[in-house]
Amino acid sequence: MTYQRSRDRMLTTLMAMGITHPRVLAVMRSTPRHLFVDEALAYRGYENTALPIGFGQTISQPYIVAKMTETLLQHEPLETVLEIGTGSGYQAAILAQLVGKVYSVERIRQLQRQAREIICSLGLNNVSLRYSDGHLGLPDCAPFDAIMVTAAARQIPPVLLMQLKEGGCLIAPVEEEPKKQRLVCVIRHGDVFVKQWLDGVLFVPLIPGDLA
Ligand code: SAH
Q: What is the DSSP letter of 44?
A: G
The SS3 of residue 15 is helix
6, 30, 60, 104: the active-site residue: 60
Separation of alpha carbons 210 and 58, rounded Å: 20
Separation of alpha carbons 174 and 184, rounded Å: 7
- Which candidate, 102, 98, 93, places its Cα nearest to that of 76? 98
181 DSSP β-pair partners: 175, 201
Distance 56 CA to ligand 1 centre (A): 10
- In contact, 146 and 169? CB cutoff 8 Å: yes
Could you give the angle at which helices 62-73 and 22-30 cross, rounded to 10 degrees?
Answer: 140
Atom number in ligand 1 closest to CA 36: 8
Atom number in ligand 1 closest to CA 111: 13
Separation of alpha carbons 134 and 84, rounded Å: 5
Residue-wise pLDDT for 155-175, tens only, equals 999 999 999 999 999 999 999
User: Is 108 a pocket residue for ligand 1 (Cβ < 6 Å)?
Assistant: yes
Which domains are assigned to the chain? 64-201 (3.40.50.150)
- Which candidate, 78, 48, 43, places its Cα nearest to that of 148? 78
User: Is 150 a pocket residue for ligand 1 (Cβ < 6 Å)?
Assistant: yes
pLDDT of 2 reads 78
Q: Which residues of 98-133 are buried (b: 16+ CB within 10 A; e: fewer)?
A: bbebbbbbbbbeebbebbbebbeebebeebebbeeb
Using most ligand atoms within 8 A of CB, pick from 86, 118, 210 the residue to mutate for ligand 1. Answer: 86
- Which candidate, 159, 103, 171, places its Cα nearest to that of 131? 103
Separation of alpha carbons 174 and 159, rounded Å: 16
Distance 85 CA to ligand 1 centre (A): 3
Nearest CA to ligand 1 atom 11: 85
User: Is 78 a pocket residue for ligand 1 (Cβ < 6 Å)?
Assistant: no
121 is catalytic: no
- In contact, 153 and 84? CB cutoff 8 Å: no
- Ramachandran category for residue 16: left, alpha or beta (phi over 0 → left; psi -120 to 50 → alpha): alpha
183 DSSP β-pair partners: 173
User: Is 134 a pocket residue for ligand 1 (Cβ < 6 Å)?
Assistant: yes
Nearest CA to ligand 1 atom 10: 85
Atom number in ligand 1 closest to CA 83: 1
Taking 70 as the pLDDT cut, the residues of the chain under it are 1
Nearest CA to ligand 1 atom 16: 85
User: Is 135 a pocket residue for ligand 1 (Cβ < 6 Å)?
Assistant: yes
pTM score: 0.97
pLDDT of 1 reads 58
